[in-house]
Every structure is written in C-alpha cells, then in structure tokens.
C-alpha cells in the first residue's frame, strides 16, 4: 500500500480554533481509515510546517480524495508527498 507524507500549516481559521485541532485530527484518522488506509505517525513540529503526518492509503486516488477533503475544511493548507520505502528505493535506483 502506498505511503504518503502530509505537510500541513494551520490557516488563520485553523489556528484561531486550535483547541479543536485534536478532534479534527481524530476526524482525519477516521477519514483515512474509511478510505482503506491507516495513519502511521503524527507530529506537531516547529519550523516550516505545523504538522507532519505519515499515512498509508490504497491508491493515489484515495490520497487525492483525502487531501481535497482536508483542504476543503479550511483549517490547514497541505502538501502531500508520495513516499517510497527502502526496498522500492533500491529497486528503482538499481534500474537506472
């Protein structure tokens, strides 16, 4: 199952209602699980991004749905990265 890394920053709306952030994260986890995936890790960070989340989903389409739904909430702006594990990295780089 593909792995994705979500990089997120709170919007003005999201930080204004930061006390609701944990409940919004729970809703995100439920959304990922509803699409057949699971959240691997979650971090609140200091620096260029406020939140970093790694999660697995069955397809790029499912990842796009999750990203669109999350963005439509208006609480965060996200960047999504598709990740390749070490075995995929070795397979892909050896083919060059």
Quote the pLDDT of residue 25: 97
pTM of the model: 0.92
Render each residue's pLDDT in the chain as its tens digit; 96 residues. Answer: 999 999 999 999 999 999 999 999 999 999 999 999 999 999 999 999 999 999 999 999 999 999 999 999 999 999 999 999 999 999 999 988
CATH number, domain with residue 25: 3.30.70.60
Residue 80 structural domain? 3-94
Q: Is 85 helix (H, G, I), strand (E, B) or coil?
A: coil
pLDDT number for residue 96: 86
**Closest Cα to residue 67, out of 7, 2, 23, 21?**
7
What is the secondary structure of 15-53 as a DSSP string? HHTGGGHHHHHHHHHHHHHHTT-EEEEEEE-SSS-SEEE
| Domain count of the fold of the chain | 1
Residue 95 has what pLDDT?
87
Cα–Cα dist 16/37, whole Å: 29
Name the helix (H) or strand (E) containing 95: none
């Amino acid at each position: 199952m593909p792995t994705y890394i979500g990089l997120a920053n709170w919007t003005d709306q999201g930080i204004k209602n930061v006390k609701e952030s944990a409940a919004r994260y729970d809703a995100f986890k439920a959304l990922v699980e509803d699409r057949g995936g699971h959240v691997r890790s979650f971090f609140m960070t200091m620096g260029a991004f406020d939140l970093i989340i790694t999660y697995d989903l069955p397809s790029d389409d499912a990842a796009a749905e999750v990203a669109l739904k999350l963005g439509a909430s208006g609480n965060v702006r996200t960047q999504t990265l598709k990740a390749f594990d070490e075995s995929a990295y070795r397979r892909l780089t050896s083919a060059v």
